[in-house]
Chain A
Amino acid sequence: MSPRNKKLRKVLNPPPIKGFKPYGPEVNELSGHEPILLHFEEYEALRLCDYDKYNHHQASVIMGVSRPTFTRIYASVRQKIAKAFAEGKQIAIEGGKVYFDSDWYQCLSCKCYFNNPFKDSEISSCPLCGSAKVSSFDIDSTTSDTREFGSCFDMCICPSCGYEATHQQGTPCSTEVCPNCNAKMRRKGRN
């Protein structure tokens, strides 16, 4: 029976370099050895975990794999890097079952979605309507862990006089009181 296919792993940025070479007088006697192949997904796992300091669960959501799979990828990259250091071998970063994707954003004023192909620069306004009300958008963000990136731009409205105030996240609109007519506020656009 053939083993189950590997899932595609999502990688945000390809690494800036192709690999690493050891240096020092002993390199020549070691250079005849094969380089250690680091897959892109392993590089990404290391980057998410140790550089961006996500925990394994958050990082696994970002890469679109399960938490145990992520931990396996991470363990394999640690093993490979340790081997390269201890044996003085080159590291080549290539291959792996990955696809490259950029971050997606949602504009809250014109309801469009857009990505950021210029990965090193930050997105501050919507490319379509120029509104600054953009939030991070993740297609697979059904778990509560990734939802906290986005901020809330909803409005509370007073049903009797139409007074509007920015909704405070975590406090229900009905606990807010309209300063003009002392009526209970309600979420705008919701009945």
Chain B
Amino acid sequence: MKIAITSTGNTLDSKIDERFGRCSYFVVYDTESKATEFIPNPNKEAENGAGPASVQLVASRNVEKIVSGEFGMKIKSLVDSLKIQMIVVKEQSKTVADIIEMLNH
């Protein structure tokens, strides 16, 4: 299963990004192969429509869950209809490595 995590940087020590649509990087983590893939977000500076475009980007990677700090109004129903689970993490001090560790429980 693949899980997308929004990240502020391109290393595992970077903190998670509290925004979904305009985060710096998406980290796609594969729970089976334990592989991580960093995708720079092309919609970071977008004026509008960053959320739906980002959903399309991560949905094309066949992720089943998205971990982020917040999800906007426009995409909640979109993500919901794609049967992707949204996980909201409110602790901004968590790093990507922390999240991956928690996912492996």
- 1/0 per residue B69-91: CB within 8 Å of A? 00000001101111111111111
> Which residues in window 133-157 of A have CB below 8 A to B?
none
Q: In whole angstroms, how far apart are the Cα atoms of A128 and B91 in the complex?
A: 13
Interface residues on B, range: 20 to 34
Task: Look across to chain A and name the residue whose beta carbon is closest to the beta carbon of B67.
Answer: A128
Q: Does A85 contact B (CB under 8 A)?
A: no
Chain B binding surface SS class: mixed
* Contacting pair A117 B85 (CB below 8 A): yes
Q: Give the shortest distance, in Å, between B76 (CB) and chain A (any CB).
A: 7
Q: Known contacts being A112-B89, A113-B90, A128-B67, is A118 close to B105, with CB within 8 Å?
A: no
Q: Which residues of A contact B103 (CB under 8 A)?
A: 128
Q: In whole angstroms, how far apart are the Cα atoms of A110 and B79 in the complex?
A: 23
Q: Does B15 contact A (CB under 8 A)?
A: no
Q: Does A18 contact B (CB under 8 A)?
A: no
Q: Give the shortest distance, in Å, between B4 (CB) and chain A (any CB).
A: 13
* Contacting pair B80 A112 (CB below 8 A): no
Q: Which residues of B contact A100 (CB under 8 A)?
A: 77, 80-81
Q: Which residues of A contact B67 (CB under 8 A)?
A: 128
Interface residues on A, range: 10 to 19
Chain A binding surface SS class: loop
Q: Does A27 contact B (CB under 8 A)?
A: no
Q: Does A127 contact B (CB under 8 A)?
A: yes
Q: Give the shortest distance, in Å, between B74 (CB) and chain A (any CB).
A: 11
> Which residues in window 49-105 of B have CB below 8 A to A?
65, 67, 76-77, 79-91, 99, 102-103, 105
Q: Which residues of A contact B76 (CB under 8 A)?
A: 101
- 1/0 per residue A93-134: CB within 8 Å of B? 000000111100000001111111110000000011110000
Sort A-B residue pairs by CB-CB distance and give the 5 closest, nearest first: A130-B105, A113-B88, A114-B87, A117-B83, A129-B102
> Can you give 11 A-B contacts (C-beta < 8 A)?
A100-B77, A114-B88, A117-B79, A117-B80, A117-B83, A127-B85, A127-B87, A128-B89, A128-B103, A129-B102, A130-B105
